[in-house]
Structure formats: C-alpha cells, structure tokens
Amino acid sequence: MNDDAAPLHRTLTPPAPRPGSRSGPGPAVRALGDAGTHAPAAAVGGSFTDNFDSHNGGRWNKADGWSNGGMFNAGWRADHVWHSGGVLGLNLNNTPCPGGCSNKPYASGEYRTNELYSYGRYEVRMKAASGSGLVSSFFTYTGPSDGQPWDEIDVEILGKNTWQMQTNYFTNGTGGHEAVINLGFDAAAGYHNYAIEWRNGNIKWFVDGRQVHEENGSRGALPTRPQRIMMNLWPGTGVDGWLGPFNYTGQKTATYDWVRYTQY
C-alpha cells in the first residue's frame, strides 16, 4: 500500500491508436469460435478467490500454441505460466515455441478463466514487468470464440512507464475509451491492488482501494456481455507510438498474488 504516495489522477487524452484485435484468441481459436455457429455464451461463474497456490484447471486455462496476432509479438506457451510460493507468474522470453510461436520471435504466458462472468467486482494483486514495448494486464474479455461480439474491460500497465495505469473498454469491438492514471508509485517495484467494478450503467476502476476512474457510457456504450477473466504479458510490434519500441534484453516476468471476483 502507498497511502502516503502522491495523489492518483487521470487524463482522458488517448494514446496512439492501436490496430487489430486487442485480446482475442489466436487464429486457431477464432476458427473454432465463429459466432454464426455458436450460441452466445452465458455467465455461469460465481464469486471466488484464488490465491494461486497451484494451478486450478477447473477454473483456469493456460494459453498454448498460438498467438493473438497483429500487434502481439509473442506466441503463448503453457510452460510460461507458473505457480510458486503462492504467486502466479507469466514469463516472456525468446524460447522457441513448437511450430515457431505462430511465426512470432518471442514466447510468453496468458491465463484465462474457463467460465464467463458478468456484473461484479474484479480484483487482482499484481506486480508488472518494466521495459519499453511491454504490456502487463488484468482484464475481462469475450469475443467470437464465445459466440459473442468483442467486449472487454482493461487494466494495463505499459512497461515504458510503470508509474501509470491505462484503462479502456470495448463494446461490440469498439474501443478508444482510454484513460491514463498517474499512480504515484512504480507498479513494477512491488505488489498493488487493482480492481474493476462493473455494473449495469457504469464501470469504476480502483487502485489500492481508491477509486481512480469511472465510465458511465457518455463516451460510448458500455459492455454488457459476460466475459472471461484474463491476464497476459506481451511485447508489441508496430505500435511504438503507443507502447514504445521493444528490444529484448532478457526474460521479463509479471507476477500475480491473487485474483478475486465478487458477483453482483
């Protein structure tokens, strides 16, 4: 906690536009997720807390063997998601993937729930990775692989400036609702609590228990569809104006102490 840190404040000036799908499944999953052949998914996940003492395969899935494509310059490997000492870690490095990491030069980790969740409070205690070109994330997402349009709510720490957090949301694939929050601490130097409170009619973001941002739909319709809870660590390509250039200098890791969802 940093209650004596500089006050948090925000700016609604959006960063440079970013092309392509933000957080959808990789091409192989998209092929299976044709919205024309799948009924819309239902929210079935109830409240839970996961302290990440071990991998719970009934709740979580480790992405493996594909890439989100576009600006994501890494392929996902299940062995880049690990649990140790009550912590979940996501590693990013240049370990080759089977099949060549979907023609990406780096490998990294992505973790997502098996079930979808609706209105409620989504919380995480995490420590971000630092470095230009990197994104450490905690977010909700659904899309064609769930038989639904693309909806998403984001907490993102950009490695080029880990003293800031970026929020955003997507509805029917439309984003552009970024806000940049000055945290008053270095998110890569220690663990802090980040929360999304999603209700019918508004979304609020919290840092260490303090509300730092709210969206009420005045900048565009809010998401309404149930979504998966996700975390990933990835290097960008072709988005230097947003993330800064990525130059590999060795393994990077983002770590997560716990995740909690409270159903509303």
Please provide the size of the chain in residues: 264
Percent of the chain that is helix, strand, coil (3-state, to 5): 10, 45, 50
Which residues make Cβ contacts (< 8 Å) with residue 40, sequence separation at least 6?
Answer: 146, 147, 148, 225
Burial of residue 34 (number of CB atoms within 10 Å: 0-12, 13-18, 19+)? exposed
Active site residues: 152, 156
Sign of the alpha-carbon dihedral angle for 206, 207, 212, 218: negative
264 within 8 A of 122, measured Cβ to Cβ: no
Upper half-sphere CA count for residue 24 (Cβ side, 13 Å): 27
